[in-house]
Amino acid sequence: MAKNNTKKQVLITKEGLEKLVDELANFKSVRRKEIAARLKEAISYGDLSENSEYEEAKNEQAFIEGRIIELEKMIDNAEIITEGVKSTDATIQIGTVITVQNITDNDEPETYTIVGSTEADPTENKISNESPIGSALLGKTKNDVIKVKVPAGIFEFKILKIK
């Protein structure tokens, strides 16, 4: 049987990969045991055809097993990205920390880290390289102005700092 060579590369930081490995270990060692115990208890109630606890546990088991497969694929296809760049005149790439200002709305400057889509988390100011803003920033340098089309409209951002 031939292997599928169309693996989707997962760009991720070292810390992001560690989080995925920890999550996988938790699912395999803790969550699987918890769900097995729930299933055993639900089966002890008898008639499985009208046993909501059993159905709920089976659904959770399917979710857990699906997540384990998803995590294993991401870890197998992970490519560690380097954190940041050293030169102030460098171009923006994955792992770069940048400060931008929305000059369309004259907002306060905001600092973001460009990360792979697996690690994107707007609450931690980590934006995906595949997002409209993230992809528009890639390859740009300090003082560049970019136009980005987002669901709320078209905005201009000025790159104030790259580190």
- Whether residue 88 is predicted with pLDDT greater than 50 in this model: the reply is no
Least confidently predicted of 9-18, 21-30, 69-78, 149-158: 9-18
Q: What is the CATH number of domain 10-80?
A: 1.10.287.180
Q: Taking Cα atoms as reference points, which of 144, 146, 150, 141 lies closest to residue 122? A: 150
pLDDT class for 83, splitting at 50, 70, 90? low
Between 127 and 82, the more confident residue is 127
Between 7 and 55, the more confident residue is 55
DSSP-derived secondary structure for 56-85:
HHHHHHHHHHHHHHHHHHHHHTEEEPPP--
Burial label for 7, CB within 10 Å (0-12, 13-18, 19+), is exposed
Q: How far apart are CA 69 and CA 10, in angstroms?
A: 15
pLDDT class for 37, splitting at 50, 70, 90? very high
CATH code 3.90.1300.10 for 97-162: no
Domain ranges of the chain: 10-80, 97-162
Least confidently predicted of 61-65, 143-147, 148-152: 148-152
Mean pLDDT value across residues 66-76: 93
Per-residue model confidence (pLDDT) at position 108 = 94
